Structure formats: structure tokens, C-alpha cells
Amino acid sequence: MVNKKSNKPVLKKTATRRSAAPAHIGLVKNDSWLEPFEDAIRGRHDHALWKLNQLTQNGKRTLSDFATGHLYYGLHKQARGWVFREWAPNATAIYLIGDFNDWKEDEKYQCKRIEGTGNWELRLKEKDLKHGQLYKMKVHWDGGEGERIPAWCRRVVQDEETKIFSAQVWNPVVPYVWKKAGFKPQKNPLLIYECHVGMGQDAEKVGTYNEFRENVLPRVAKDGYNCIQVMAIQEHPYYGSFGYHVSSFFAPSSRFGTPEELKALIDEAHRLGIAVIMDIVHSHAVKNEVEGLGNLAGDPNQFFCAGDRHEHPAWDSLCFDYGNDGVKHFLLSNCKYWLEEFHFDGFRFDGVTSMLYYSHGLGEAFGGYGDYFNGHEDDEAICYLTLANLLIHEVNPNAITIAEEVSGMPGLAAKFEDGGFGFDYRMAMNIPDYWIKTIKELKDEDWKPSSIFWEVKNRRPDEKTISYCESHDQALVGDKTIIFRLIDADMYWHFKKGDENEVARRGIALHKMIRLVTLAAINGGYLNFMGNEFGHPEWIDFPREGNGWSYKYARRQWNLVDNKELCYHWLGDFDREMLSVVKGQKNFARTAIQEIWHNDSDQILAFMRGDLIFVFNFSPSKSYTDYGFLVPTGSYDVVLNTDAEKFGGNGLADDTMTHFTNYDPVYVNDHKEWLKLYIPARSAVVLKKN
């Protein structure tokens, strides 16, 4: 996106890469303000190329061939028994202990170091391990020992009574058989439903993969979203971390069910035409040593940076050493594993800003382009992210990658050959910040359509974004969702139909308008967090000591939107029809945005995309009769109106009318005429050209 403070202009995009050394690299061709930093951009690009050539042995194999650690390490059933392998260079001895040997060291289960490597191996007969048995590693190193869960294990479970985590032998008699093959995501536009399996149920408990598949997926499909972004899949010891303190990177969280049940969820989503992307955490790892990678074999730096960069200063977690080829092997294999084993359609990479900078972006203003190229960037992390994107698209050319990045680093979602990182999209994180600031700090009379329009389009033209009004971040305890900022406690007393007060009516109207203007201006995709489409009340607060380990706020109250006596269904119904209108316009996300009119005094905004005209009146008190816009000559029908009674509006306009443009000889050569509309206060309307 364009940096909000510098607001540098960009040049027209060119599709071809340089053919000779003097020519500018693609990023610089597209943005002349990057010329002073071209050497740094080329340096990053060349670094990734050098590492790519090294890992692929100068093209003798593919990057996908390199990223196969999950097929070698961990516990695997073979034709004649079992094989277990672990990468632990600092270990002096490794045993498998479990309920098959009373959790005691046994020579039969002692691993052998593979000579000349940091790898350990154990081969067992088929009878020595059984499906469902629990196990761990007992690792010895110079000066110490400890029980550890293997780094590459695919199944981890927690004992309900002792709360102890263990790896579990997982080899079902009947493996999962995929029903839907060859799924290809719909991307124009990409409409993402961000969700969490555990909190996806009405009941005060941890929901399951099966319950999500049966109860939530049909809602997502009905509402018109074509992608779900699933949080908290990688195993994490503390449920309240929202899945961001990962311990076992290859294990789908067992608190939600079995791996086969997760596969069934993804399979059903594909049957419904819904892509499934995973919120992947490669930006840091949980500090736990017994459950995680914190001190796998007596070397706390096996996976993580040494010294001052070992721990994340804000997240109480550990920072990966992306310059270590063993770590690259681990993380790249992790990407490939989730794509191939579970048929995920891609990833939303969490915490990319933290990865990009030695400072993790903390306390930095990023006020100009120089702040992205002043030597504080982690080139190894940049190289890893670039390789990850190359790998993911090599494994699945239709895969989706999204960067959660707040600093505005140029090139993040640009093509690798242009000097970019290769992400398909970046999160437009400026937009929710803008809406929160606007709601908190400005009176309704001071909302400026010009500012709103600029902000929802604030991005680099050569990088696609995922726009959103709010995600799970804005719903966490201590913060407020948009609906709660607008209505607050009045939701408890005035959200029954017929009992709405002025605060509730204002909130309902603006909730719809905010979403519509954000979605209408996308250049890639749109995201909504589970339940926010219908104005889910209150915040998200996972069970913890401070709330008596309650699940009251770690769930979604679907009963509210299903109750036709309450106002929630108005918002849910509007969201569904809003998505339908956008999906009905061919190639909507790639269609140019043409401003028709804005007037900050009137608080009116109008713009056109293809055959659709979007008109907004943000004024809280002024309605306008015969407000005119110059538009292409023809007739227009209303396809969506936020003020319609069926969406909780006042129903002041007659949406059954066909609107004909009025001839004006001044503009006859432009093939434009005047479209005159009645625009009620605090409402928006979408018209389609016939």
C-alpha cells in the first residue's frame, strides 16, 4: 500500500522484467520514488536467487524437492514397521518413551545418530507401536536431559486431567479418502470469512472440526463468501493465545478433533466452492521447552536467533533464525506439508512486520521510503518469505498467499521477477485503523467523503490487497468491534425490532455503510471476521484465570442472527446481498474505480465500477432531493439500498423505480447525462446500468 505519511505517487505498471542491466527492476519501473533504493531492492532479489540456486543445486532439483523434511523426519509407518527421525545436532542420546514402555528409557527404543549429520534414527517392528499410543522423546545432551515432543510430529494431544501434552502415534486403519479433487479458488473477488473452529459454536465450549463443518460452513456458503481463513490450526499449548504461540508446527490442533476430521472440513468446503487458507505462524514460536522447540536438545539456538534477538520483546516468544538452512528446511517443509497433506489452498502469514525488521517494527514510524531501506531490515527473513512464496506457488500454482504487514514495505505483494516478495495479497491494515479513529474522534457531521474514499483506495497500484473494516484483532477483549463502538451498551436494551433507539438506528445505518464503501473499493479481496457481518455483540475473551476460565465470550451466538425478532438479522441479510451484488459484476476487483463526485460539505460520495454506481450520503441529518450526477447515458435500477426496510432502514426511497438519465447538450459528446436521485440522510444506494 502507499505509505500513509509520504503518499508517494507511482508510475504506470509494466509487465515485463528488465532485459539488460541498466534497465530498472520492475518495482522501480512502477514507482520512481524507489530509484534511490534500487540497489537494496536488487540486493534482496539477488540474495533470494543465490539461496534458491543453492537449495536447488543450481536447478538440478526444485525447491519443492528440497522442502520434503516432513516426509523424512518424524514418525512414519512403512511396509515393514516404523521409522522415526529427528534433527537434533546437540543431542548425545535420544530415546522414545511412551505407554508402550512405561515411559522409561529402553535400549530397544534408543535412536542412533546418522554418522556425519545432526540426524537421529530409530527403526521398529510393526508390533512395537500401535495407533493411538502416546510418546515423547527423552533427549540427553552435555550437562542435561529432558522430555520433549518431537519437532516434526503430526499429532499432539493433551491429557484432560494432568493437562500434559504428548505426541500420539497416528496411523488410522482406513486413511482419509478425498472426495473433491482439483479444486480451484475463486479470486475475483476473493471474499474471506476469517474464522476460528473452537469458538465457532453457540455453546460455551471448544467447538470441533465436525461441528464447524456441519454448522458453520453452510452459513458461510449461504452468505456468499468463497474463502475461509482458519485460525489456530497449528497446535498451541495455551488456547487463549488464539493459536499464535505455536508449539508443534506440523500437528493440527487436537482440541478440535482428528486430522481426518480437519480433512473432511476442508473437503466439504471445497464441495461448497469455498477455498480454505490457513493462518500460518512462522514469525515466532512459543517459549515452552517440553511442548515446543525452545530447547529441543540442550541448544536453545537450534531453531532460534542467539543473543538479544532470541526472544521477541513484545510477544513473550522466540524468534526463528531464518539464516539457518535447517530452519529454512523446517519452515518450507511446513508450508508444503499443509498444502499437500490437508489440501489447504494457501496461507495468511501472520506477523510479517515482526519478521522484516530487527526491531520487529516496534516503535518505528515508517514515515517515508527511506525507513524501509536503512539497514534495519532482516535480509534472511526477507529471503525466507520470498522462498516460501516461490515454493507455495510451485506446489500449487492456484494457491493464495496473504501478508499481514503493517509497515507498508514496498514490493511485498509484487512479483518476484519484479523484485517483490511474491505474496498474492497484503492486508490493508490502514482501513480498520482509519474506521476506529473516525468513529472515536470525529462527530458524524465531520466525516469527510474525500478522506473516506482516499483511505479505502490507499494502496500501491501494483500490489493487490485484502480490504476489511475489522478482523479478529478489533474484536479482542480490551478493544471494541465497530458495532460496539457505534452502539455500545444500547445493544443490550435496544436491539429488538421495534425497540430501537436513535443510537441503535445510527449504528445499524453506519455499520452497513462502512462495510459497503470498504468492499466497493477493493482491488483484490475483502475480509470479515466470523459473526461481525451481523454485528456480533461484545468482545472475544478466551477462558483464563481472570474470567474464571469461562467460555462465555469465546463463542459465536448464531441464535442472535437466527432470531427474526432481533435487529441482527438485518445486518446479516444486508451483508449477504452486498456480497451478491459485487459477485454479480464480472471481474469486479479488476474493474477500474471511476470517481463521479464527492462533496465534503454535503457529505456525498459517488463512484462507478463497471455497470455499478455507488452513492453514499454520510450526513446524519441532511437528505437530498434530485441530487444530480453526470453518468454514462442510459437507465439504472437500484440493486441495493442500505436504507431499505428489509435491512432495518427507513425505506424512504422507492427502489422499484427505473432511473433514466436527463439530457444535457453540454455533455453530449461525452455520452453523459444527469442522473438525479433522492438520497436520504445516512444511507447508501447501488444502481446498475441496464
Q: Which residues are catalytic?
A: 350, 404
Which residue from 328, 348, 146 is spatially nearest to 320, judged by alpha carbons? 328
Phi, psi of 341 (to 5 degrees): -75, -35
d(CA 41, CA 34): 9
**Local structure of residue 522 (DSSP, 8 states):** -
d(CA 267, CA 209): 12
d(CA 27, CA 43): 13
Helix (H, G, I), strand (E, B) or coil at 515: helix
Fill in the amino acid letter for 497.
K
Which residue from 502, 506, 507 is spatially nearest to 481, judged by alpha carbons? 507
Name residues whose C-beta falls within 8 Å of residue 509's C-beta, 6 or more positions apart in sequence. Answer: 642, 643, 648, 649, 682, 683
Residue by residue, what is the 3-state secondary structure of 453-516?
HHHHCCCCCCCCEEEECCCHHHHEECECCHHHHHHCCHHHHCCECCCCCHHHHHHHHHHHHHHH
Distances (CA, A) of 570 to 508, 532, 643: 8, 13, 11
- Cis peptide before 175, with omega less than 30 degrees from 0? no
Phi, psi of 94 (to 5 degrees): -135, 130
Name residues whose C-beta falls within 8 Å of residue 543's C-beta, 6 or more positions apart in sequence. Answer: 239, 240, 549, 550, 551, 554
- Label the pairing between strands 525-529 and 465-468: parallel
Length of the chain as a residue count: 690
The label of the residue with cell 436527463 reads 662
Distances (CA, A) of 449 to 125, 513, 519, 587: 71, 12, 15, 25
Report yes or no: 301 and 321 within 8 Å, Cβ to Cβ: yes
Phi, psi of 483 (to 5 degrees): -65, -35
Task: Give the DSSP H or E segment for 76.
Answer: strand 74-78
d(CA 654, CA 399): 44
Can you spell out the DSSP letters for 51-87? HHHHHTTTTTS-HHHH--HHHHSEEEEETTEEEEEEE
- Label the pairing between strands 91-98 and 112-113: unpaired
d(CA 280, CA 244): 9
Which residue from 285, 275, 303 is spatially nearest to 235, judged by alpha carbons? 285
d(CA 309, CA 374): 19
| Burial profile 413-438: b = 16 or more Cβ within 10 angstroms, e = fewer | bbbbebbbbbbbbbbbbbbbebbbeb
Fill in the amino acid letter for 180.
K
Report the interhelical angle of 38-55 vs 325-342 (nearest 10°): 70
Name residues whose C-beta falls within 8 Å of residue 578's C-beta, 6 or more positions apart in sequence. Answer: 512, 515, 516, 519, 640
Report yes or no: 453 and 179 within 8 Å, Cβ to Cβ: no
Report yes or no: 631 and 608 within 8 Å, Cβ to Cβ: yes
The label of the residue with cell 531492492 reads 41
Using alpha carbons only, give the angle 399, 404, 408 rounded to the nearest 5 degrees. Answer: 115
Report the interhelical angle of 502-520 vs 449-456 (nearest 10°): 50
